[in-house]
Amino acid sequence: MRNTGYRFAQLGGAFFVHYPHKDSGSRLEWDKYPPELEFDRSADNMRKARQSGMLDNVNFVQYKRGQIDTLFVRFRTWMKDHVEDEHRVPLCKDAMDDDAKLWVLNPKM
């Protein structure tokens, strides 16, 4: 892409993951989930599951999605701890709670 003229820049506090294509082997791995997540995984339901403790003992990192969520949470923590950036764009009032959809977080969040 760089050879065709695209310009790239580093963004503080950002993380990008490319979801696998629908019919790929990678997508089949991505779509696997633990039996404890056999429910509608909307943000509200994930938040309630964490708060109730039902996800406290799930080994998410044995699943591809859990590995990526873990990597994201570690990266974001590292960014907050090591990258100085006072330029923050406030979220709009309609912003979605994307953290609630993550598998891997502090279980009580």
Closest by Cα among 8, 73, 61, 6 to 33:
61
Below-50 pLDDT ranges, the chain: 107-109
Q: Please enumerate, as own/partner, the contacts of 43-52 that have beta carbons within 8 Å and a separation of 24 or more.
A: 43/96, 43/97, 43/98, 43/100, 43/101, 44/100, 46/100, 46/101, 46/102, 46/103, 47/97, 47/100, 47/109, 50/105, 50/106, 50/107, 50/108, 50/109, 51/108
Taking the model in full, what pTM does it have? 0.66
The whole-number pLDDT of residue 109 equals 40
Q: Please enumerate, as own/partner, the contacts of 38-41 that have beta carbons within 8 Å and a separation of 24 or more.
A: 41/101
